[in-house]
Structure 1
Amino acid sequence: MRYRTDYSATLLSSATETLELGCWRLHYQAYATRADDPRAPVLLLGGAFQSFRSFTGEVGELLAEHPVILLDLPSQGCNLQLAPELGLEELADLIAAFAAELQLPPLMPIGLSYGSALAALFAVRHPQRCARLLLAGITAFGRPGARRLLEEGLALLAEGQTAAFAQGALTGLLNPLRLNETGVSPVFRKALLRQMQRLSPTEVERYRQNSLRLLGFQGFAQHPACPTLVLAGEYDHFTQPWEHASFAAACADADCVLIHDADHLAQFERRSACASLYSPFLRGEPLPLVSPGSTRLARSQLLQLEKRHEARRPPLNRRARLTHAEAGEWAVEVAELGFFGGLLQGDLPAAPPLRGWQLQLPGLPALPLLPLRLSTNGLALVFSHTDAQASAALAELVTPPALPAVACA
């Protein structure tokens, strides 16, 4: 590997190097302080809506101590090659083939969101090529609600309902109930929403293929054996903290750190808190129990985190109606209600259709929902949040009013 030594942030938007491995094209950029740097390189693998430009801050900080490689596999980032026949495992194998072709020493991948699954599988399937592993936004997609929402997003895109898709996806990535804590600006939210509303046909197909890979993934039969650091945004509803902790618990040598006041995009919302952990971990130094903006979980805590990510309580008026354009209408009682989901009780259909449901609560717009499971307790559901007005009304209903300042004294 010959590294570029002239790094500047503007280069991340420039043309990439291309490596052909059989019929597959891999796009990359590689930087270091010397062209023949023999040290273990950091490999950056981004999420579904990320490009090399997303890592401007990380590259500049990491280059002080490590070579840095940014890699786009087929259907990722700037790599427009479609690869419907490749699963997550085969893409992880392409990372190993990339390292072998360029004669790289063992890598230190940093995998974010979708990239976290690829990085983790690479570490499992090619342990000799992975020195250390850093993950954030674990996307194993074993949680039924997360899978249903991903499936609904694909169905909406197939129907051409890009506005509804974008609204639902945005609500998953950026927790609307915690915007004050995470500090996500309205400008950033609008920009991300516009990006998802304006996906080109090729970008829609790339998203579809990547989502189907996640849905088709059967889970980790093995977990990484190398030193591993898992970062979880404490308000991440898309990939929840307990899922990160459970993954870390299954690894041979892993730490899990909660990033305070962050959700799924913790690396960008709390860059300094995350960056302060990168360097000691990549150097092999012990992590502090507490550092600014984060808390490392003790090993004994990893399987003890609360799995209910929000409080769910019955509304003051529990009577509601569950409606479906074709299946009909049912009177229900709302036993539990939160922003992301709830539980309905009543004389409900034994096999409800998978899509097309709405919950009619007094004084609120109709709330689109997806049924999860019907049991003796009732019908568990998740809200798809494809209607911005309905989501805002629900958020106001379930968010407790702030206490007056005098009451807090």
Structure 2
Amino acid sequence: MPDEVVRTLTVDGVQYAYRRLCRPAPETEPIVLLGGVFQGLHGWHPIDTTLNEKADVITLDYLGDGTRASAQYISPAQASRAVAQAVDDLGADRINLLGYSYGSVIAHQYALRHPERIARLMLGGVPTGATPEQQPYAQAIAATIAEGDKAKVATLLVEIMLCMDPDVEVPHRDLVYRCLRRTLLRHLHSPHAMVGLQRSLNAEIAVTQDRLPSVPTLVFSGVHDTLTPVPQQRAFAESVDGCQFTVIDSADHLVILERPAEVADLALRHFTEGIGSCIRVGVRSESVP
């Protein structure tokens, strides 16, 4: 088992924690993982253990994510300051940074402010703004939050994140559906979770239009992502100088749960500058203008 260190810090008067999986003689800079709103410190298995074979791996709990006794909404800009504080606390000159879904917005904010601290950047499931098709779901979630029906809220959240088209092949969709719904329901019973979720919905979280500095960047997406569709993510990748864009087959927005081996392999190759070499079947990389 790798050595594990958990540190508690405070930013803007709110406590948060980060976890470090230590690797003797690491082969690349520390890998910092920023995931979805409810992902938390221990939500990256088995990807974190695979990445830990090459580097120290750091995972974070988010400020005000609804899992602890604070209903305060913390913006991505504030969360990126928490990341900056954690990186300073690590004593790392530079990091490899992977942000997924909500975490990609935080990673984007951090990269804008601290490009000199990033060795390589990887963003997936990048929110670029709600599509017209998603508006009815968002309205239904808001109405159900107001009703206080946690079970229905959990169901709606899973259904907006998963590709529910029965004609589309997504591995282990039923299992992912059940596990994710159970996890979300557990979080929604935490103090202030429903309030925090509503504030997150009101914020319409998306990456800003600010142009990323020139750091080696990879954007990736599940091919059937209905929450952050492939065309939107490809367009975002085109706005980043020298960016590479990758699509992973048989996966949707929950690609990290559905294809963890492929995501981990992709990350290791990017973070060790081996992205140009042969990658796994079902992973398609392309350069974008």
Aligning the two structures, in what range does the TM-score lie when normalised by the shorter sequence?
0.7 to 0.9
How do residues 298-337 of structure 1 correspond to structure 2 at under 5 angstroms? 298-299=287-288
Deviates more, 1:250-259 or 1:91-100: 91-100
How do residues 215-294 of structure 1 correspond to structure 2 at under 5 angstroms? 215=204, 219-288=208-277, 291-294=280-283
How do residues 8-407 of structure 1 correspond to structure 2 at under 5 angstroms? 16-21=6-11, 23-34=13-24, 40-76=29-65, 80-84=69-73, 86-147=74-135, 149-178=137-166, 181-197=169-185, 199-200=188-189, 201-213=191-203, 215=204, 219-288=208-277, 291-299=280-288
Question: Residue 66 of structure 1: SS of its match in structure 2?
Answer: coil
Given the two structures, how large is their TM-score scaled by the length of structure 2?
Answer: 0.87
Counterparts of 2:76 and 2:171 in 1: how far apart (Å)?
Answer: 33
1:65 CA drift (Å)? 1.4
- Equivalent residue pairs, number: 287
Counterparts of 1:291 and 1:266 in 2: how far apart (Å)?
Answer: 14
Counterparts of 2:110 and 2:70 in 1: how far apart (Å)?
Answer: 21
CA contact (8 A) 1:182 1:262 kept: yes
Question: Residue 132 of structure 1: SS of its match in structure 2?
Answer: strand
1:203 CA drift (Å)? 2.0
Cα deviation 1:332-360 (Å, max 9, x = unaligned): xxxxxxxxxxxxxxxxxxxxxxxxxxxxx
1:204 CA drift (Å)? 1.6
Question: Residue 56 of structure 1: SS of its match in structure 2?
Answer: coil
Question: Residue 108 of structure 1: SS of its match in structure 2?
Answer: strand
1:224 CA drift (Å)? 4.6
1:39 CA drift (Å)? 5.3
Q: CA separation of 1:222/1:147 partners in 2, compared to 1, >3 Å: closer, same or farther?
A: farther
Question: Residue 223 of structure 1: SS of its match in structure 2?
Answer: coil
1:147 CA drift (Å)? 5.0
Q: CA separation of 1:77/1:225 partners in 2, compared to 1, >3 Å: closer, same or farther?
A: farther
1:217 CA drift (Å)? 5.2
1:53 CA drift (Å)? 2.9
1:202 CA drift (Å)? 2.3
Counterparts of 1:282 and 1:77 in 2: how far apart (Å)?
Answer: 31
1:245 CA drift (Å)? 0.6
Counterparts of 1:219 and 1:116 in 2: how far apart (Å)?
Answer: 11
Counterparts of 1:38 and 1:181 in 2: how far apart (Å)?
Answer: 36
CA contact (8 A) 1:73 1:79 kept: no
CA contact (8 A) 2:169 2:250 kept: yes
1:90 CA drift (Å)? 2.1
Instruction: Give the counterpart letter for 1:211 in structure 2.
Output: L
Instruction: Give the counterpart letter for 1:281 in structure 2.
Output: H
CA contact (8 A) 1:92 1:121 kept: yes
Instruction: Give the counterpart letter for 1:31 in structure 2.
Output: L
Q: CA separation of 1:186/1:218 partners in 2, compared to 1, >3 Å: closer, same or farther?
A: closer
Cα deviation 1:46-99 (Å, max 9, x = unaligned): 112323332121121111211111111212486554432x32222212211322
Counterparts of 1:130 and 1:144 in 2: how far apart (Å)?
Answer: 35
Cα deviation 1:224-271 (Å, max 9, x = unaligned): 531111111111101101111111100112111010010001122112
Unpaired runs of 5+ in structure 1? 1-5, 301-409
Q: CA separation of 1:193/1:257 partners in 2, compared to 1, >3 Å: closer, same or farther?
A: same
CA contact (8 A) 1:72 1:78 kept: no
Deviates more, 1:262-271 or 1:172-181: 172-181
Unpaired runs of 5+ in structure 2? none
1:38 CA drift (Å)? 9.9
Question: Residue 95 of structure 1: SS of its match in structure 2?
Answer: helix
1:187 CA drift (Å)? 3.7
Question: Residue 246 of structure 2: SS of its match in structure 1?
Answer: strand
CA contact (8 A) 1:43 1:68 kept: yes
Given the two structures, how large is their TM-score scaled by the length of structure 1?
Answer: 0.63
Q: CA separation of 1:194/1:279 partners in 2, compared to 1, >3 Å: closer, same or farther?
A: closer
